[in-house]
Structure formats: C-alpha cells, structure tokens
Amino acid sequence: MHFKLAFIGFGTVGQGLTEILLEKKDMLEKKYNFSWSIVAISDIIKGSVYDESGLDMKKILDIAKSGKKLDDYPSGIKGMDSISTIKDTNADTIVEVTYTDVKTGEPAITHIKAALNVGKNVISTNKGPVVKQALELLKLAESKNAKYNFEGVVLAGTPALNLANYTLAGNNISGFKGILNGTTNYILTRMEEGMSYEDALKKAQELGYAEADPTGDVEGLDALGKVVILTNVVIGKKITWTDVERKGITEITIDDINKAKSEGKRWKLIGSAKVQSDGSVKAKVWPEKIPLDDPLAGVGEATNALTFFTDELGPVTIIGPGAGRRETGFSLLIDLLNINRKLSG
Amino acid sequence: MHFKLAFIGFGTVGQGLTEILLEKKDMLEKKYNFSWSIVAISDIIKGSVYDESGLDMKKILDIAKSGKKLDDYPSGIKGMDSISTIKDTNADTIVEVTYTDVKTGEPAITHIKAALNVGKNVISTNKGPVVKQALELLKLAESKNAKYNFEGVVLAGTPALNLANYTLAGNNISGFKGILNGTTNYILTRMEEGMSYEDALKKAQELGYAEADPTGDVEGLDALGKVVILTNVVIGKKITWTDVERKGITEITIDDINKAKSEGKRWKLIGSAKVQSDGSVKAKVWPEKIPLDDPLAGVGEATNALTFFTDELGPVTIIGPGAGRRETGFSLLIDLLNINRKLSG
C-alpha cells in the first residue's frame, strides 16, 4: 500500500531513513508492495514545509545537508508547527524523530499522542516515550485503530523487539540479559587490549560513540532506559526508572579485566530482568564477568546483543549494531514494513 | 481464526507440537486469537483416524506413547491413507512430519504437493522437500493461495528463517555463515576440553545427538542441506546439493584444537554462502578457525548459530537450539502463528 509520511524532526535519523527510502524505492515496491511519499517535514531548527502531493526528497536532503532552512524549498506551504503538521496535513503516518529528553519524554510524547488521537500511525526512535508510557501509548494506539511502532529504541535497527514479540511468539519470555550500550562495550573492548579506562573513553569520544559528558553511557543510564523498555514491552511487566538497580563501568580497572581474563571471563555491562517466583521483576544494569562460552562474551566493539529466556527454546540470542545513523534510520523502515504487512493482510 | 489440522506422520515432532498446543490452548486463543482442532492423523506405523469434529488429543497422545495403534481410539473413521487424509478430510492445514529421506524428499514432497494442489496450507519440518524443491513448492503454494511454511528445517524452533525473511525485511542479504549442526559442535566442544574425537563422538551417540552411523553429521551432509536451503530461501539463489564444497570434522585432531587455542581461536564446522561479484554464489561446509571475538566462537555444546550479512545492518547473528523434540515441535507453532497473522490481517 501507499504511505504518506510526515517527519517531525529531521536530524540524522530522519535523513538516514530518507536515504534508504530513496535508494530502495523500486525494491520496496516490487518485493513488499510498499510505496511512499513524504508530504511534510517540521523541524524546530530547519523550519517546515508541506506539499500534499509529496516533496522532492532529493532536494530536501540537499537543503538539509547544506545547513539551509526548508524555506529554501521552491514550493509548498511553509511555517506549520509540529502539531499542525501532525493534525492538519494529509499524512497518514508520523515519523517522530525529534530531539527528545529521555527523562521527560518530551516533546515526543505530546507529538505521539496528538497523532494517535487523530488515528494516524506513529513510528519513532525516541526512547523517552517508551520508557515513560509504553503501555499507555500502545493502548491509545489500539483504541484509535492506529499503530505505534518503535523498533529502534533498543539495538537500533537490529530487530530485537520484533524478534521477541512476533518471531518468538508463542513463547513465554521470563527474562533477558544483554549488552545494551555500545559505548561502554567499546571501552571494555579497548581495556581488554590493555588500554586504561581514561584512554578508552577518550578514544570513544573521538569516534563519536561517547558524548563530551559520558555519564549517560558509563554510569549505565542509557542501558537502564532500555531495561525498562524491554521489561514493559517484552515481558509485559510495568516497571519504571527507579525500579532498576544500577552500577556503571567507571570503577572497573585493568586489574579487574586481567583477573577476569585469567578466569576465562570478560567484563560486560549487562542489562537484565527476570520474573521472580512471586511474579515481580528483578531488573538491573550491572557489570558482570561473563564466561567465554556465553555468546555475549564474544560481542566486542560497539556491537549490542540480547538474550531472551524462553520457555520453549531456552535462551535465544540476537547480536547486531546498536547505533548509527543509517542503522537507526533502518529501524523505521522495519516499523513501516510491519504496518504495511498488517494493513495488507 | 480457527485451524483444522491433519497430521501426516505422528512421531516425536508431531507429538511435541501436540503437547505445546494442549498446554498453551488458552494463551494462544487470548493472545493471538488462534484456536485449533486436530481432525485427522495418518501415520505409516500407528495407523490413522479421522473425526471431522476434532480428536481428543490427550487420548491420542496416551495411545501413541503406549505404543498402541490409532485403531484403539474409541471413535472416528479408521484406515484412511496419507493422500486421502490430506484431500478427503475437512482439514485446512496439513502438518507434514513424516519420516522422509532427505536426499529424495519423499514421501514428503508428494504429500506437500497433494495438499497445496487442493489449496490447503502445509507446515513441515522436513528438510528434503526444501532442499530439493523450495522455490517450486513456494510458487505452487502462491498459485493456489495456500501457505507452505517450514521454519523448523534450519535451527529447529530458533526462528532463523523468519528473522531473515520478515524481521530483517528491507535488507539485502548477500551471505551467511553459521554453526548449522549441533552434533559436530557438541563433539568440537568436548574436544576443546581435551577429549579425543572418538570419545566425543561416542558421548554424542550416548546422548542421542549422533546416530549409530554418524556420517550425515560428521561429514557435513546435514549442514550442507541447510546451506542449500538458506541459499535458496534467504539469498534467493537456486543452488543444489552438488554446488556446495564440503569437508567434515573427522580429520580434526586434538593437536589442531590446541594450536587454534594458542592463536585465540576455536574450530567450528561452518556452513556458509556468499554472493560473488558476478552474481553467482560460493557455498561451502568447511571446518574453520573462528577468532574469539566472533560471536560464533562462543557457541558451544549442541547450540546452533547463524550470522546474516546485510547491507543496512552489517552482520546480524541469531543463536539458539538446533534440535530437540519440543524445540522442533515449536517451529510448527511459529509457522501456524504466521499463517494466522497473515490470514487475520
């Protein structure tokens, strides 16, 4: 079927998706009967543009990459804000990729609710809304006969959520453990090679993995958000930010690394949750020494990995990228193809 | 929706699926709107029984497990052969789990064609038909508006085919490499611990992993069939049995194992295929020394693993069980839930 998309936010992830859609246009039509036009974009810095018959996205990408404003686009309606772009355009599906505070979930939550309330589908890579309100937003979507998909909020385009919720359907998933943060895994990989924590962090910052203030990564906050998401969305138990025990990697020394090595183990920052016998969930982000015969031990560099504990199959693990402009943009295509599949029957 | 199933063959895999269906009846109805009855069973040894209103499967399991014949079932029509069970019952979906020769694909191919030709869905764990005629059978299914699903033919219930074909949709998959045979991986794991090849094989036979004649496993023939399947079904290139280079694990010595260890590597029997620049495929089953920072290196015991090489995400790996009565039975539930999802829209 044909999708009319509106982008709320047009940073690297939105541009990544756009590149994929342009390059794979023919393949997507032929193989999945999926076609698209992008009718509107609203970005807090770049401005906004709307053309109900579809924008020329090659031109839009040129404008965005040259740092110009969308007002430079030669036609279309300019100046619509994000809410009117969601509600007052002919878009049927909203791509919510604004810069959003992971703690408050705003402005993404407001955008997502506005879209679902008028029955429009939402796809989004923003973690904040899923951490804070996953179950409420999914319920709202269902009541409005719309879809809210967010494959990219854990492991970027590596389809961990779809694996759990569709491909492993029929299993009871009672827990998970994973390497959910690429930056800390990169740092630990360098330390395995003998680099100090400080040098490894500096290198991660040079490569753009870690931000100038690395707290969110190295103290385990990013991984914590993903543990909350997975517990809510995969295990189906409602927990919040404060229900997760947390310790980062800042206290791990080269001595610790070497000691683990001599025991045939490797330090990894593990995010995990497990349903207890009383039905409650024990969730944590904690550095753990993983034996070499655990698949997670072999996951190096910035790669992510996630093991689900299932009743029918035992542990099932998926390993893939956890970040990246194109990889995260791709997660939105997974979301679109899922909606397409459901609506096509 | 409601499925009316007929089992052609009723060995361990069919019984495994039956147990899962019985235990999870309520959950499957509530969570996936999936309900079932089993109206017919035809087994070359156990005989056959048909009741259009559904069989009491607890009674059937008791009969099967006590080694009795299905004639002992207190009601229903007895004596129908496999083809009339497929064609002349009110079943809408055929569970093809006969004992089938992997080389000829028979009698499964005959059963599958008979079902598809009358527009009935087929789910099957038999490798032979997929090795020999995957693309033809899928085309036949499509032309008859029926489904032919076979998740269990590689990695048992670990959803490798669904991961590749649905969850990773939108990627171009240009190759794969994997640990596709659990028996050889079990033997290599024991050899890593210092056991000789002969003792490890004996232990695998004691545990039921390896057959009395272990040739199919240790010479790489089982893995070869899976390479053919994955190349045809995931990469979409038609190859056959003779297009795959093959070497088994019988020549690997403890010396080889130790030498690899000293290089930070592990021997694994790897099945792989890769699209070449001229569009042809290079496929092989060959023992390879895998470095410890490759996720496949950490896969021990009888576990299976498969890495897909994708254009958007790079390598994506799935790890899980590759055999087992219940695990393989579960692959058929994955197939059923997929058909249910497609037909429910």
Q: What is the DSSP letter of B80?
A: -
Mean pLDDT of B279-296: 95
The pLDDT of residue B236 is above 80:
yes
Q: Contact at 8 Å (CB) between A36 and A2? A: yes
- DSSP per-residue string spanning A73-94: SSSSEE---HHHHHHSSS-SEE
pLDDT tens per residue, range A257-266: 999 999 999 9
On average, the pLDDT of chain A sits at 96
pLDDT, one tens digit per residue, over B28-62 is 999 999 999 999 999 999 999 999 999 999 999 99
The length of chain B, given as a count of residues = 345
Neighbours of A90 (CB within 10 A): 14
Distance from CA of A167 to the nearest CA of B (A): 6
**C-beta of residue A132 within 8 angstroms of C-beta of residue A109:** yes
Q: What is the mean pLDDT of residues B223-246?
A: 96
**Average pLDDT over all residues of chain B:** 96
Q: Which of A148, A319, A151, A49 is nearest to B170 (CA)?
A: A151
Inform me whether the pLDDT recorded for B265 exceeds 70: yes
Burial class from Cβ neighbours inside 10 Å (0-12, 13-18, 19+) for residue A54 reads: middle
Strand order in the sheet with B244-246: A244-246, A281-291, A265-275, A173-179, A304-310, A314-320, B314-320, B304-310, B173-179, B265-275, B281-291, B244-246
List, as one string, the DSSP characters of B173-197: EEEEEEE--HHHHHHHHHHHTT--H
Cβ distance of B298 and A300 shorter than 8 Å? no
Model confidence over A260-284: pLDDT tens digits? 999 999 999 999 999 999 999 999 9
Q: Which amino acid is at A299?
A: V
Contacts of A321 in chain B (CB under 8 A): 313-314
Nearest-CA distance B278 → chain A (Å): 20
Is A235 part of the contact surface with chain B (CB cutoff 8 Å)? no
Dist. CA B300–CA A315, nearest whole Å:
13
From chain A, the residues in CB contact with B182 under 8 A are: none
At A60, is the pLDDT very low, low, confident or very high (cuts 50, 70, 90)?
A: very high
A65: left (phi over 0), alpha (psi -120 to 50) or beta: alpha
> Cβ separation of A170 and B295 shorter than 8 Å?
no
Phi, psi of A15, rounded to the nearest 5 degrees: -70, -35
Nearest-5° Cα angle at A14, A10 to A19:
125
Q: Kindly calculate the radius of gyration of chain B based on its CA atoms and give it in whole angstroms.
A: 21
Cα dihedral sign for A147, A152, A157, A161? Answer: negative
Q: In this structure, what are the phi and psi dihedrals at residue A212, rounded to the nearest 5 degrees? A: -55, -45
Nearest to A298 among B294, B320, B326 (CB): B294
A202-239: buried (b, 16+ CB within 10 Å) or exposed (e) per residue?
A: bebeeeebbeeebebbbbbbbbbbbbbbbbbbbbeeeb
Edge-first strand listing for the sheet containing B47-50: B77-78, B47-50, B35-43, B2-8, B93-96, B121-124, B148-149
Query: Which residues of chain A make contact with B316, given a CB cutoff of 8 A?
Result: 158-159, 318-320
The CA distance from A50 to the nearest CA of chain B, in Å, is 27
Tell me whether strands B77-78 and A314-320 are parallel, antiparallel or unpaired.
unpaired
Integer distance in angstroms from the first to the last C-alpha of chain A?
A: 11
Contacts of B251 (CB under 8 A, 6+ apart): none
A173–B contact, CB cutoff 8 A? no
Query: What residues of chain A lie within 8 A of the CB of B342, using their CB?
Result: 345
Q: Which residues of A touch B186 (CB under 8 A)?
A: none
Average of per-residue pLDDT across A231-247? 96
Residue A293 confidence (pLDDT)? 86
- Percent share of chain A, pLDDT over 70: 100
Tokens of B162: 């669904």
Question: What is the mean predicted confidence (pLDDT) over A296-305?
Answer: 95
Determine the angle formed by the axes of helices A12-23 and A57-65, rounding to 10 degrees: 140
Q: Does A145 touch chain B (CB under 8 A)?
A: no
Distances (CA, A) of A215 to A224, A250, A251: 12, 10, 13
Residue A345 has pLDDT above 70, yes or no: no
Contacts of A163 in chain B (CB under 8 A): 159, 163, 167, 318
**Whether B156 contacts B323, CB under 8 Å:** yes
Residues 6+ apart with CB under 8 A from A25: A35, A36
Q: Considering only CB atoms, which chain A residues are within 8 Å of B299?
A: 295
Predicted local confidence at residue A210, as pLDDT: 87
Give the one of B296, B305, B345 whose C-beta lies nearest to A342's C-beta: B345
Q: How far is A334 from chain B (nearest CA, A)?
A: 7
Whether the CB of A326 is below 8 Å from some CB of chain B: the reply is yes
Identity of the residue in A166, A170, A342 whose CB atom sits nearest the CB atom of B330 = A170
- List the single best residue of A24, A162, A188, A319 to mutate versus B (max B Cβ within 10 A): A319
- Residue range B196-216, pLDDT digits in tens: 999 999 999 999 888 889 999
- Given a cut of 90, is residue A2 above it in pLDDT? yes
A327 in contact with B, Cβ within 8 Å:
yes
* pLDDT value, residue A211: 85
Confidence at B345, pLDDT banded by 50, 70, 90: low
Q: Burial letters for B229-263: b for 16+ Cβ neighbours within 10 Å, e otherwise? A: bbbbbbbebebeeebbebebbeebeeeebeebeee
- Let me know if A8 is exposed, middle or buried by CB neighbors in 10 A (0-12, 13-18, 19+): buried
Show which residues of B are catalytic: 226
| Nearest beta carbon to residue A167 from set B162, B342, B343 | B162
Which member of A320, A342, A344 has the closest CB to residue B316?
Answer: A320
Q: Count the neighbouring beta carbons within 10 Å of the beta carbon of residue A338.
A: 21
The amino acid sitting at A6 is A
Q: What is the pLDDT of residues A171-218, one digit of tens each?
A: 999 999 999 999 999 999 999 999 999 999 999 999 988 888 999 999
Q: How much is the pLDDT for A48? A: 98
- Tokens describing residue B102: 């992997």
Nearest chain B residue (CA) to A165: B167
